[in-house]
Amino acid sequence: MTDRAQGARLAGLAALLADPTRATFCLLLLDGRAWTAGELARRAAVAPSTASGHLDRLVASGLCAQERQGRHRYVRLADRRAAALIEDLAGHLPPAPAATGLRAATASAALARGRTCYDHLAGRLGVAVTDAMLARGYIEGGFTLSTKGAEWMDTVLGAGPDSWPRSRRPAARACLDWTERRPHLAGRAGAEVCRAFLDLAWIRRVGTGRAVRLTADGVTALGAHLGIEDADALA
């Protein structure tokens, strides 16, 4: 394939995400769950017919996948690579202006405090957990899960690498956090940390979006197991 042809394909992908509605859908789908077309339409404040056309293009591009159950159409990001692309692009945006209105400001603050980035933790919570794991040597330079980190995940979270199914996904990688402008933990380790935190009820989802919040048990656990002394500020 010629450089010109490859450039045309890249331009097509950029054009796909240049539409505010389609970009909004992709950001909403970063919570890792499948949404109905109606749910996405309501959150993006567009008509269902408009949403349907945009979703057709996202599915046709391979960025999103869909399945139907009865009369409902469920759409999700196609895979972790698609999620990483959207999150990385968002990480290069300039800081967003302050939200206006109580509802918008509350939602924005909740996402900045803690959220899921597809299947791992982001926001101040995700960065704080990552920093603590780095400080304790659970993650080493270059974002490599250390032997010490694998043992910690196994004994404390019950989610060590020996329990992971075989996968070509990296054990750990850095993901630029678009609100904190610093990396948080992604990869298989990041996904397992997030899953374990939910299973142990250290965090809970807030509403139907991506926001998560530390529980009282989570505050205690992060202090005990990661030495995060001010974890209550993340709750």
> Is-contact 193 120, C-beta < 8 A?
yes
Secondary structure (3-state) at 166: coil
How many residues comprise the chain? Answer: 235
The domain made up of 3-78 has a fold known as Arc Repressor Mutant, subunit A (1.10.10)
Quote the DSSP letter at residue 19: S
How far apart, in whole angstroms, are the C-alpha atoms of residue 78 and residue 170?
18
By DSSP bridging, strand 120-122 and strand 72-77 are unpaired
Report CA Rg, the chain: 19
pLDDT in tens, 9-40: 888 888 999 999 999 999 889 888 889 999 99
Give the residue extent of every domain in the chain.
3-78, 91-234
Strand partners, 85: none
Whether the Cβ atoms of residue 112 and residue 210 lie closer than 8 Å to each other: no
In this structure, what token pair is assigned to residue 195? 């899953």
pLDDT of residue 12: 87
Q: What is the pLDDT of residues 156-215, one digit of tens each?
A: 999 988 888 787 888 999 988 888 888 999 999 999 999 999 999 999 998 777 889 999
The pTM score is 0.72
Tokens coding 27: 């950001």
At position 228, the amino acid (one-letter code) is I
